[in-house]
A and B are shown apart, each in its own frame.
Chain A
Amino acid sequence: MMEIKIVKMTGAFAENKDSARDIRLTKIVPALEKNEEIILDFEGIEGATQSFIHALISDVIRKYGAEALDKISFKNCNENVRKIIGIVVDYMQES
């Protein structure tokens, strides 16, 4: 199991899409390739943009299907971050 502390790469406001892409390409995708479970830990994150969350997980859902969500869990998300993740996960499954 891999646990990724988002705040270490982004600071308290997660908006940098370059960081999101790095996390996706260097941590999430390799873990999914090994069939490992992933915990994305949002402790310390006060806010996140939709663009950041989209860059973090949308391509993973597109490439591995919604089943990828069975391998990924989102930990310590505040109410707003939960909603933004919810928006991104919903529209990726709708589209």
Chain B
Amino acid sequence: MEIYLPNSAFLGNIDPFLKKIDLSDPSKLKITANRKWISIHPAVLCMVASLGLNAKNITCEKLEAKSKHYLQRMGLFKMLNIKADKIIIEHEPAGRFIPLTRITSSQELTRFITDIIPLLHLDPEQADPIKYVVSELIRNVLEHSGSEQGAIVSAQYYKKSNTIRIGIVDSGVGIKKTINNAYPAKTHLEAIRLALTPGITGTTQRLGGTEENAGAGLFLIKSIAKVNQGFFMIYSGNAMYKLLKREPDQKHITLHGDPFQDRHSKGEDYPSWKGTVVGVDISLGKTEKFSVLLDLIWDVYIKAIKERKKEKYRKPRFT
């Protein structure tokens, strides 16, 4: 495998980065980087860590970019057991970020959620959607992915855009296999579409879900990103779906049950990622009150359930 860290890979421009990853021979990982500058989304960092944790042999070229300390500060070399002193000079960690963290159990997740808010220096109103997104995404990994390495997570506050960027990655079975337990999605993209549709869970076809799963988690997270003017990206198998930002002049927010009705981009010609990658950006300056968001979600979610229920109605037979 080979992964090249470019001068810029954020959710808005992540597509060429994803297409360039070489995922052949999972036992070896070669990390290379732009010589002048490395500026990457936490989801990219989590992807490198996830590949590295599964590889037996990791080579990392000597990094020359001025921003190489970012990788050190976010804990990449520590997680992959690479001796950083041979690559860069260590600096004291500073700023508002969550370094790369592996979460493998429900208890670890609960502790993690408590710890992240002071690390990101968020006030309570800003903290609600962040805690919500992180909890639901990691719990999805723990419950459905079968990822031996658990969930790899990191987050960073970006002052210039006043945005929290979050990455959560696993190397489990991927969305298609999970959804296929209950729905016959033929492609990875079709599976992603179903996973983002409210009321659909891979655990059952029954409306209302099981006692443990309602099939609402990813829809809620996409909605939180949409309302807060952020990107949301999900990549699994060879498919990638990306919720694009709302048009700036679009004042009225409409949530859609079908993710393909949202402003988005998508593709199914990416290197096949074993597992799932999720990236979310939440703009703090444009944060709607969480309660307003919940009202919007309530309406759309119940409407979607009603429509799905109607689909199952028996129809009169006219002869």
- Interface residues of chain A, those whose CB is within 8 Å of chain B, are 11, 13, 15-18, 21, 24, 46-47, 49-51, 54-55, 58-59, 62, 79-80, 83-84, 86-88, 90-92, 94-95
Q: Which of A49, A92, A95 contacts B135 (CB 8 A)?
A: A49
Interface flag for B166 (CB, 8 Å): no
User: In the complex the two chains form, is B291's CB within 8 Å of A83's CB?
Assistant: yes
User: In the complex the two chains form, is A58's CB within 8 Å of B211's CB?
Assistant: yes
The closest CB in chain A to the CB of B214 belongs to A54
A46, B212: Cα distance in complex, Å: 22
A87, B291: Cα distance in complex, Å: 12
The closest CB in chain A to the CB of B140 belongs to A51
Q: Which of B109, B207, B213, B295 contacts A54 (CB 8 A)?
A: B213
Contacts of A91 in B (CB 8 A): 199, 208, 214, 301-302, 305
Q: Which of B199, B208, B291, B302 contacts A79 (CB 8 A)?
A: B291
A90, B309: Cα distance in complex, Å: 14
Known: A15-B131, A94-B302, A94-B305. A51 touches B291 (CB 8 A): no
- Interface residues of chain B, those whose CB is within 8 Å of chain A, are 106, 109-110, 113-114, 124, 128, 131-132, 135-136, 139, 199, 206-209, 211-214, 216-217, 220, 290-291, 294-295, 297-298, 301-302, 305-306, 309
Q: Which of A18, A21, A54 contacts B209 (CB 8 A)?
A: A54
User: In the complex the two chains form, is B124's CB within 8 Å of A94's CB?
Assistant: no
Could you tell me the distance in whole angstroms from the C-beta of B308 to the nearest C-beta in chain A?
A: 8
Known: A11-B114, A47-B131, A51-B136. A95 touches B208 (CB 8 A): yes
A59, B204: Cα distance in complex, Å: 14
Other A-B contacts than A46-B124, A51-B136, 8 sampled, CB-CB below 8 A, are A16-B109, A17-B139, A51-B213, A54-B209, A87-B297, A87-B302, A91-B301, A91-B305
User: In the complex the two chains form, is B110's CB within 8 Å of A11's CB?
Assistant: yes
Q: Which of B128, B214, B220, B306 contacts A80 (CB 8 A)?
A: B128
Could you tell me the distance in whole angstroms from the C-beta of B199 to the nearest C-beta in chain A?
A: 7
> Taking chain A's interface residues, is the majority helix, strand, or loop, or is none over half, making it mixed?
helix
Contacts of B298 in A (CB 8 A): 83, 86-87, 90
A1, B135: Cα distance in complex, Å: 32
The closest CB in chain B to the CB of A60 belongs to B211
Q: Which of B199, B211, B294 contacts A84 (CB 8 A)?
A: B294
Could you tell me the distance in whole angstroms from the C-beta of B259 to the nearest C-beta in chain A?
A: 18
A47, B132: Cα distance in complex, Å: 8
Contacts of A17 in B (CB 8 A): 106, 139, 212
Those 7 A-B pairs whose CB atoms lie nearest each other, nearest first: A95-B208, A59-B211, A95-B207, A83-B294, A15-B135, A54-B214, A94-B305
Contacts of B136 in A (CB 8 A): 15, 49-51
12 intermolecular pairs with C-beta atoms under 8 Å apart: A11-B110, A13-B114, A16-B106, A18-B106, A49-B132, A49-B135, A51-B139, A51-B217, A83-B295, A94-B207, A95-B199, A95-B207
